[in-house]
Amino acid sequence: MAFGRLERTQGPQPMSDINMTPLVDVMLVLVVIFIITAPLLASSIRLDLPRTDAARPSDAPKFVTVVLDKSGQAFIDDKPLAAAPLAARFAQAARENPDMEVQLRADRSVPYGRVVEVMGAAQKAGLNRIGFVADAESAAR
């Protein structure tokens, strides 16, 4: 009896590749779920709103820019104005749009009292939204 060598077959080698098929399947299911649910998240209440000319989308906020130079002279649209015409211009702007904003650009050497006078004229005209414009601090000072 001859004893021969029994050949052993090697077992399956470990797989070093990732099977992408299940991952792609899961991602496609998630995409389908998001596509179906996205329109439902917007609003679940259906309304048929009444129509009127008064309900217009609001435009960008309008503003009047007032510049006070070193001497305290007020300018609107690069035109110098005295106290009475400045108050009249504020009143006209308030009639056009009561929510109009006044953007005040004053030189740093203007006395505080002059700035308060311009603010008071704007508030008397009915313009209560006043913004102060300043330049950004530069790093090279």
Span 5-34, pLDDT tens digits: 667 777 788 777 888 899 999 999 999 999
Asked whether residue 48 is domain-assigned, the answer is no
Question: What's the average model confidence in pLDDT over 105-110?
Answer: 86
Asked whether residue 3 is domain-assigned, the answer is no
| Minimum mean pLDDT range among 18-27, 73-82, 129-138 | 129-138
% of the chain at pLDDT higher than 90 = 20
Q: Is it the case that residue 108 has pLDDT exceeding 90?
A: no
Alpha carbons 1 and 123: distance in angstroms, whole number: 120
Half-sphere exposure at residue 82, Cβ-oriented, CA atoms within 13 angstroms: 1
pLDDT of residue 52: 65
Q: What is the DSSP letter of 139?
A: S
Token pair, residue 45, equals 């209440």
* Neighbour count for residue 37 (Cβ, 10 Å): 9
Token pair, residue 104, equals 């005040």
Average model confidence (pLDDT) across the chain: 81
The total domain count for the chain is 1
Asked whether residue 79 is domain-assigned, the answer is yes
- Residue 96 belongs to what domain range? 63-132
76 phi, psi to nearest 5 deg: -125, 125
CATH of the domain at 95: 3.30.420.270
Is 122 within 8 Å of 74 (Cβ atoms)?
no
Asked whether residue 85 is domain-assigned, the answer is yes
Asked whether residue 51 is domain-assigned, the answer is no
Asked whether residue 127 is domain-assigned, the answer is yes
Alpha carbons 130 and 115: distance in angstroms, whole number: 11
Asked whether residue 73 is domain-assigned, the answer is yes
Question: What's the average model confidence in pLDDT over 67-94?
Answer: 88
pLDDT of residue 76: 87
131 phi, psi to nearest 5 deg: -115, 140
Span 24-64, pLDDT tens digits: 999 999 999 999 888 777 655 555 566 666 656 555 558 88
